[in-house]
Structure formats: structure tokens, C-alpha cells
Amino acid sequence: MKKYIGKSVVKGIAVGRIYWYKKQNYEAVKTEVLDTEAERERFESAVETAKKQLTVLYEDALDRLGEEHAMIFEIHKMMLEDEDYLDAVKNVINEGLNGEYAVSVAEEQFAEMFASMDDEYMKARAADIRDISKRVINILAGIGEDGIHTDEPVIVVAEDLTPSETVKMDKEKILAFVTVKGSSNSHTAILARSMNLPSLVNTKMELKEEMNGKVAVVDGFNGEFIVEPEEDILQEMISRKNQWIADLKGLEQLKGKENVTSDGRKINLYANIGSVNDVDAALEADAGGIGLFRSEFLYLGRNDYPSEEEQFESYKTVLEKMNGKKVIIRTLDIGADKKVDYFKLEPEENPAMGYRAIRICLDRPEIFITQLRAIYRASAYGTAAIMFPMIVSVNEIIRIKEIVGQVKEKLLAEGFRMGEVELGIMVETPAAAVISDELAKEVDFFSIGTNDLTQYTLAVDRQNQKLESTCDTHHPAVLRLIEMTVANGHKEGIWVGICGELAADTELTHTFLDMGVDELSVSAANVLKVRKAIRDI
């Protein structure tokens, strides 16, 4: 048994097998092997696995995209049966070298050969050779395809996880997350919260191959990751897990009840979501609306911009599912830790304070307009509101409103129906909080993003795990900015909510109510917990 200590970002207990999620950019390293016959067999078995994967991909593509698009997987399978290619790999293994390296040698040799051909069709096969070789190398190295591949739900253990990697994973297959790196306010932690899976970040451990498949326990209450627990500990953890699930069930009796204090003060309690799939959990938790739809997650984990049509479908589905309850869609907040290759953003010294969010949208209005068109078209199907991230000035809002005006005018001319849409801003920079008296004159609501507001106010990088202990989330500077923003909003007659992670901190629920906060938006998993805190006041 081995116990590792991490920083808990989602409470709860999970018991299951470990799945080591390795990064995709693996490079084959040359090592010597003693048993070349065993290595050849390992290679042959990896080829068989690759072919099985390709069959699944073929059938899936055939169903979803048709024969024309599915054919490529058949071609890849045939390439993996090519004797010359297979022999080229085996010849290198026979020299006493490892399979991963041998495949990479054959890959180079064949890719170059195809690339040097005159025929355009044959030239293009170089990319296929690289593709099939990468697939086999990854299998040999134990690296899954994008996402995780397992039959039973597992505890995902990783060095670190980016938001893009996390969104690609099938939630049904995950029991918990444990990462060596990461901080509690990172978007990966936020995603883990939205999935409501016990999770630890900043876990002091060295990842080792032999961990894979071992039984382990994640204790998100005490920040512990126990690998191969002794029988008595395992039994204790299973019974604590059952107790935790029973407690969660206990909260369910609050479903359908109001968010009201004993002296009659009511508040809206909404849920944060990152995708259409999260809506069910929000409804299940009896959230009164969606207080933050992080629309940028629609842009992550793909190779190209989502089209107006695709976005329209997503927003429409969320609005329809929420059946008239308010849905606040935040326009895309790409940049900083939310990286998307096809945006072709240049590396920056300080990405959190760089070219991101509304700054990109105002600089590249074609991206912004596509998103606004999709939201306004979807607004006919429910109660949509839009909010804009990373605002620092009144001028930005004026420019946004000009663009919004043009978008609406064009949609009207094209004959689209639209609903009434409130326009608000995230107050997540100290600048916005300080000039909230002026900003309040321009918008219908404020939603305070305490994650960024805290990082910028305290000059504490939310991604930096070393600063976890120095980051005081209840710092008076942050609380005063929140109080000031609420007061300034109310002076202009607009409502003010909080959608950062602090909204779910029940130690502050009373304080927020005293400040006059009108809405709290939290992950679905926290809705009933916060409702209880409100009703206990």
C-alpha cells in the first residue's frame, strides 16, 4: 500500500482501478532488448490491436459519415498488413532494438519513399504511414488514443491534464481524477467539478508504469490517493463512500424547495455548464437556470472552428432543455490555459494577461459575429442572455453593442426570429470592479468571475500550484471588490451575480447574501449544497 497526498478540488470518494493517461506527443526512444522474439511478438500484438481500433473507427465513421469518409480506415488496416512494412520493422527489432524505435525507423523509411514519388496520390500516402506508425507506437508505449479507452470506469491518473484533453474524455468511464500538477482554480479542476468526480491535483507522487491497473482509492475529503490499500482500509473507504452517496441522496429532499433564508431573503441559484451534456446534471440538481455557459468549451478538442450552424444547435438544445429558464451564454473565452491550435495564437510571456477572450473577439470580429449570430438565432427557443468575459473598459462594451446591433439587424433582414436577450458582463478584472459604477450604466447585469478577479487582484497565477497555499480566496481585497460591484450595480438598477468558484463556498454564503448578491451560479454538483446553506441562514 502507498499513500500520496494531493490537493482536493472535488470532494467525494472513489474506489477503482488506475488508468494512467499519458500525453500524446510521445517520441520513440531507442533502447536495447534482450529477447528479440518476445519483442517481435509484442509488435505483432500491437499491430493486431491497431487493426481492431481501425475496424471500430471504420464502423463508426460508416454510420456517422458514410463509406467515402470511412474508407481511409480500411486503407490504414491494409497498410498494416503490408509485408514490406512489417518486415522493415521486424528487421530493426532483430538487431536487438525495441519495437517503438523499430516502428519509427520504418515510418521514416516508408514516409520518405512515398513522399518522393511523382504520383500525387502516392505522395499523400506518406501521411498515412505516419498515422499508422503513430498508432502502433502509442499502443506499444501504452498510450491510449485521444480520450481514454477502457471497459470499466477508472481512476484517471496523469501528470497534468489540459481542458482539451479533459473534455474529450467519456465521463461515464471516469471515477476520479488524480494529477501530479494542476491547481484548484484551473479549468481542468473546474471541469472535474462539473463532472462531480472526486479529484486531486498537485499530488506528490512519481507516476510509474506499474501503477496502471492497480486498485486505488481517491479520498477527495482528505486529499489522499491510496494505491493498493490494505483490506481493512479498502473496506473502510467503501463504507465511507457509501455514506457519502447517502449524504448526497439526503440533499435531494431539497429539490423543488426555494433558495430562501429563514428571514425570507430569496436568491437565484443557477448552474455553470461547459457543454450541452452538462444540462441534464443542472436540471437534475434543480438549478433555476444556467448562470454561466462556458461556450469556449465548444471550441476545444477539435480541429476547426465550430460553424454557426453547429453552435446554433448547441445553444438551441440548451435553451430548449432549460424550458424557459434563463441561460446565460458567455461568449468565447479562449486563451490563457484554454488553448486551441486552429486559432493560431502566438506563444505569449503572460497568456493570462494576454490576447484572450473579448480581446480576440473584438480583434477578429468574424469569429465573434459567427457566435453572436448562433446565439441570437437560438434565442427564439428560450430565455437567453449573453455575457462578455475579461471586460476592462466602457469602450469595449460600446464596441460590443455596435457589433451586436449589426448582427441583430442582419438576422432580422434575413427573416430570423429572436427572443429578448439581456446583455451583461463578467466582472473579473479589478478594472471592471473599480469602474463598475460606469459599466453598470451600459449593461443589464453583472456576473462576478471570482476566479480571475482573485488571480488579478492578488497577483496570484491561478494555474500555479506553488501558490495554492498563499492564495487566500477570502482575501478582504477581493471581498471588497465584490461588495463594491454589487452596490454599484444596484445603484443603476441591474442585478449582480457571482459565477466564479467562490459562489459555491458555503462559508461565504451568508456574506454574499448580506452584500445583496442576487444570484449564485455554481457547478451542478454544488447546487443543493448551496441551497442548504442558504436555507440554514
Binding site for Mg ion (CB under 5 A): 428, 449, 452
Task: Give the one residue of 241, 294, 316, 531 binding ligand PEP; rule: CB under 6 A.
Answer: 294
- What is residue 324's DSSP assignment? T
- Total binding residues toward ligand PEP, as defined by CB under 6 A: 11
Residue 138 or 523: the one with the smaller Cβ distance to ligand PEP is: 523
How far is 219 from 13, CA to CA, in rounded Å? 5
Question: Which of Mg ion, ligand PEP, none binds 167 (CB below 5-8 Å, type-dependent)?
Answer: none
Binding of ligand PEP by 505 (CB under 6 A): no
Q: Which residue is catalytic, options 69, 76, 149, 187?
A: 187
Give the residue with the Cβ less far from ligand PEP, 134 or 294: 294
Residue 187 falls in the annotated catalytic set: yes
Residues listed for the chain: 537
Q: Per the structure block, which three cell numbers stand in for 264? A: 425570507
* 170: Cα separation from own chain's centroid: 12
- With CB under 6 A as the contact rule, which of the stretches 38-46, 254-262, 313-321, 449-457 interacts with ligand PEP? 449-457
CA dihedral (390, 393, 396, 400) positive or negative = positive
From candidates 100, 165, 286, 333, binder to ligand PEP by CB under 6 A: 333
Residue 137 C-beta: closest distance to ligand PEP, Å: 35
Alpha-carbon gap, residue 524 to 497, rounded angstroms: 16
CA distance 29 to 378: 51
Residue closer to Mg ion (CB basis): 61 or 499:
499
The piece of 64-72, 138-146, 202-210, 445-453 that touches ligand PEP (CB under 6 A) is 445-453
Based on CB atoms, which residue is closest to ligand PEP, 20 or 315?
A: 315
d(CA 275, CA 315): 9
Residue 491's closest CA among 438, 532, 527? Answer: 438
Q: Name the residue among 107, 140, 148, 143 with its Cα closest to residue 126.
A: 107
CB-wise, 165 or 428, nearer to Mg ion? 428
Tell me how far, at minimum, the Cβ of 294 lies from Mg ion, in Å. 9
Choosing from 39, 107, 286, 428, the residue that interacts with ligand PEP (CB under 6 A) is: 428
Q: Hey, which residues does 413 pair with through a beta bridge?
A: none
Q: Is 149 a known active-site residue?
A: no
Total Cβ atoms within 10 A of residue 107: 23
Distance of CA 46 to the CA centre of its chain: 31
Amino acid in position 284: E
Q: Does the protein bind ligand PEP through residue 499 (CB under 6 A)?
A: yes
Interface residue with ligand PEP, options 424, 449, 489, 497 (CB under 6 A): 449
Cα-based distances in Å from 452 to 69, 105, 333, 482? 43, 47, 12, 12
The correct pick among 500, 505, 519, 526 for binding ligand PEP (CB under 6 A) is: 500
**Is 286 an interacting residue with respect to ligand PEP (CB under 6 A)?**
no
- Interface residue with ligand PEP among 450, 457, 488, 523 (CB under 6 A) is 450
State phi, psi for 365 to the nearest 5 degrees.
Answer: -60, -20
Pair type for strands 422-427 and 445-448: parallel
Kindly list the residues in this chain that would bind ligand PEP in the complex (CB under 6 A).
190, 292, 294, 333, 428, 449-452, 499-500
Enumerate the active-site residues. 187, 499
